[in-house]
Chain A
Amino acid sequence: MPSILILGATSDMALAIARKFAENKYDVQLAARKTEPLKPTQSDITIRYAVYCTLHTFDALQFNSHESFFEGLNPKPDVTVCVFGVMDDEGKAFDDWSVTQRMIDTNYTGAVSILTTIAKYYKSQKRGTIVGISSVAGERGRQSKLIYGSAKAAFTAYLSGLRNKLFKDGVHVVTVKPGFVYTKMTENIELPKPLTAQPAEVGAAIYSAVQKKKNVIYVKWFWRYIMLIIKSVPEFQFKKMNL
C-alpha cells in the first residue's frame, strides 16, 4: 500500500488531508511536536479506513533532528505533505524579533530543512511526491502579512525551484495555496463564503493534484484571478494601499 507523511498533523487541514488519502487506501504517518493528543486521530483513521496509521515526533524548529527523524521512518512515504506553519500577530512580530524569527523559521527554514532531506531521498529513488502548503499571502508583500507573507513567498519560491530541480528525476512537487479555510485559526474572523474552503475541500484538492501531477493549485479557483489582480496593481499605487 502507498503511504503518506503529514508534517504538522494537528491542524484541521492536516486531518482532512489524512482522511482523504486514507480513504484512498494510503497508510498514514502523522508527524507533530506532540504525538499524545493525536492518538484519537490515529484510532479513528485505523478503524474508519482499515489502513495503518503511525505517530512520529517532529519539531520543525529542531533543524538538526530532521535527518534522523526521516531516517527513522519505515517505510519511507510515497507522498510527503508539509502542512505546518504559524501565523503570529504581525504587530507583535514587528516589535519582537523572536516572534519574527519563529515565523520565518517555522514557515521557511524548518520547511526547507525537512523537505530538502526528503527531496534527497526521493531523488535517489527517482520517485516520490512533495506537497507544500504555502499561501496566497506569499504572492505579494503586504503590511498586514509582513513577515508571514514574506516567509511564504520564500517557501513558494523554494517549492518552484525544487520542482524544477527534481523534474528530471521523476520527483513531483505540488505547491498549494489554499486561500481562506474554515479552521480554528480563522474561527473568529468573518470570511467571505465563496472564497473560503472547508478543510475537506483542501484534502480533496490535494489528493487530486497529487494524482494528476498538478504543479500549483488554488483550492477555490477564483483565488487565481484575485491574486492576478492584486499582483497587477502598480507598486507606486500598491504602497499607498491599506492591505
Chain B
Amino acid sequence: MKKRIANWGNYPTIESYEQKFSFTGELEELIDKNHHFIARGNGRCYGDASLASTTISTVQYNKILSFDTEKGIFECQSGLTLDSILEVIVPKGWFLPVTPGTKFITIGGAVASDVHGKNHHVDGSFSNNIIDMDIMLSSGKLITCSPEVHPDLFEATCGGMGLTGIITRVKFKLKKIETSFIRQKQIKAENLEEIIRLFEEYNHYTYSVAWIDCLKKGRNFGRSILMLGEHASLVELSQTQKNAPLQLPKKKQIVFPFNLPSWVLNAFTVKAFNFLFYLKNLKKEINNVVSYEPFFYPLDAILHWNRGYGKNGFVQYQFVLPLAAKQGLIEILQRISDKGLGSFLAVLKVFGKQESIISFPKEGYTLALDFPVKKGLMEFLDELDEVVLKHGGRIYMSKDARMKAKVLEQGYPDLEKFKTIVKKYNPDGRIHSIQSDRLFLTSN
C-alpha cells in the first residue's frame, strides 16, 4: 500500500510503498522482490535522503545483539533507536560515543549520516567509533566491513546516505560515564566576535555548542549563549542526585498535536532563548549539574515539534566553513538576518579535523537553522550555497532537500571516489533515493 511520507522537515512529501522486515530472511526477500528502493529508519533526516517510491523500513529490525558491559562494546541491528540504546547502557555506566541533537534516530541512520555531536572537536563523528558492520548489497549479499576489511565499502557507507546497501548490523564502542548527569556551563556572548573567541577559549570542554540569535543587528549582531558540558563525576552530584547517579531521566513529553502556523514555533524559541539570556542568566555565566536529557536533547521533550512549521514544512540549512572563513560566517548570518526568512535561532558549533570521503564534518564552523518553506526560499538558499562554496564550505546532505548537484560536487572533493565505490557495490543503481537522483549520485 502506498503511503504519503516525509522526513522530519515535512518537505518534500511523497507517495511511497513502505515495507518492513523483522528478520534477515525477510530483508533478502524484499531486496529480491523490489527493483528500486532506499533504506529508511525513523525518518529523522530532514529532507529527501531516505525518500523513494519504494522504501524498506528498518524500524522493526531493532534487536540488541550483544553488550559487553566491561569493555563498553555494543552491537545491534540497524533499526534500533538511540533512545532505546540509552535506556540499556546508561544504567550500566556507559554513554553513546557521539550523539546528535535527537535520540529518536536509528543506528543505521546514525551511520548513513555519519552523525556528529557537541563533542566533534574532541571525539570526531559517529563512524570513528564503529568496530565493524554488516551491509546487505542490492545483490542480496551480506558483507561485513570495517576500517580494515572492505575499507572502501566502510568509508562510503559512513555518511553515504544508504546508497551502498542496507546497513543491517553495527558494532561500536561506547563512552564510560560515572554518572548520567552533565556538569553544564552556560556563557552569554554579546556578539559574534565574542562567541568565536569563547569557542576558542573553551575548546578543552568535551561538549560545546552555541545558540545564536539570528535577527539581532548592529552592536549585538550574533549575540549568543555558549553551552558547555562534561559528564559529571560522582563527587560533583548533589546529595539527591548521588542516590541514583546512573538514573535515566524521567519521561516528560509534550506533543505538538497538529500543524501550527510557523510563528508559533518562532515565538517559542524566542521565549526559550530570551529566558536563558535575560532571566535565568542574569549573570554572565551559570554553572549547574543537569540530567543528560535537557543537555543533549532539549527538543525531544516536544514530540513532533516539526509540526510547528506548518503544513508546508521547513528546510534545515546546515553548512560548514573552514576556520579561516570567519568572514563568510558573518556574511551568511548578515544575509539571513536581512532577509528575515529564517528561524530566530541558529545552532553554531566548531568541528575538529576529520578525514573522510563523504561525511559532512570537516574542521571549521558549522551553522544550522530552519527555514519554513515559502515563496522565494529556494532561490535564497541557492544564493547562500554560492557564499558557502566561495568560502570553501559545504552542505550537510542529511538536512538537504534542495541543493543542486554542482553544489555537492564543489563542496566534497572526494565525490568522484564516492561515486565509484557506490557504483561498485550498487552497480545497477537499484538503491537510490530522490535525493541521490537529484544529486546524480546514482544513475537512473
Contact = CB atoms under 8 A, between A and B. Distances in A.
A37 interface: yes
Given A40-B77, A47-B88, A184 B20 contact: yes
A157 B64 CA distance: 39
Given A187-B19, A188-B1, A190-B1, A47 B24 contact: no
B19 A43 contact: no
B77 A187 contact: no
B304 interface: no
B63 A41 contact: yes
B1 A47 contact: no
Contact of A43 (B20, B24, B25, B63): B63
A65 B223 CA distance: 74
Interface residues of B, number: 17
A78 B63 CA distance: 26
B22 A12 contact: yes
A83 B201 CA distance: 61
A48 interface: yes
Nearest to A40: B63
Contact of B25 (A12, A37, A187, A190): A37
Interface string B8-28: 000000000001111111100
A193 to B, nearest CB: 13
Nearest to A44: B63
Contact of B20 (A10, A48, A187): A187
Contacts of B254: none
Contacts of B77: 40
B20 A44 contact: no
Given A47-B64, A48-B64, A190-B1, A37 B23 contact: yes
A233 interface: no
Contacts of A37: 23-25
Nearest to A38: B23
A47 B66 contact: yes
B259 to A, nearest CB: 18
Interface string B63-88: 11111000000000100000000001
A41 B77 CA distance: 10
Given A37-B24, A184-B20, A43 B64 contact: yes
A93 B79 CA distance: 36
Contact of A40 (B21, B65, B88): B65
A10 B1 CA distance: 23
A150 to B, nearest CB: 28
B1 A43 contact: no
B274 interface: no
A1 interface: no
Given A188-B1, A189-B1, A43 B65 contact: yes
A48 B88 CA distance: 6
A165 B158 CA distance: 61
A189 B3 CA distance: 11
Contacts of A189: 1
Nearest to A199: B60
Interface string B332-367: 000000000000000000000000000000000000
Nearest to B87: A48
A181 to B, nearest CB: 14
Interface in A166-195: 184, 187-190
A12 B60 contact: yes
A10 B25 CA distance: 12
A44 B22 contact: no
Contacts of B20: 184, 187
Contacts of A47: 64, 66-67, 88
Contacts of B24: 37
B302 to A, nearest CB: 22
Nearest to A34: B25
Nearest to A184: B20
Contacts of A43: 63-66
Interface string A5-36: 00000101001000000000000000000000
Nearest to B60: A12
Contacts of A184: 20-22, 26, 60
Contacts of A48: 64, 88
Interface in A146-161: none
Contacts of B25: 37
Contacts of B65: 40, 43-44
A40 B66 CA distance: 9
A44 B88 CA distance: 10
A40 B27 CA distance: 15
A222 B67 CA distance: 42
Nearest to B66: A43
A47 B65 CA distance: 8
A17 B66 CA distance: 22
Given A43-B66, A187-B19, 14 more contacts: A10-B22, A15-B22, A37-B24, A37-B25, A40-B65, A40-B77, A44-B65, A47-B64, A47-B67, A47-B88, A48-B88, A184-B22, A184-B60, A187-B1
Interface of A: 10, 12, 15, 37, 40-41, 43-44, 47-48, 184, 187-190
16 contacts: A10-B23, A12-B22, A37-B23, A37-B24, A37-B25, A40-B63, A43-B66, A44-B63, A44-B64, A44-B65, A47-B88, A48-B88, A187-B1, A188-B1, A189-B1, A190-B1
Interface of B: 1, 19-26, 60, 63-67, 77, 88
User: Top 5 A-B pairs ranked by shortest CB distance?
Assistant: A40-B63, A44-B63, A37-B23, A44-B64, A188-B1
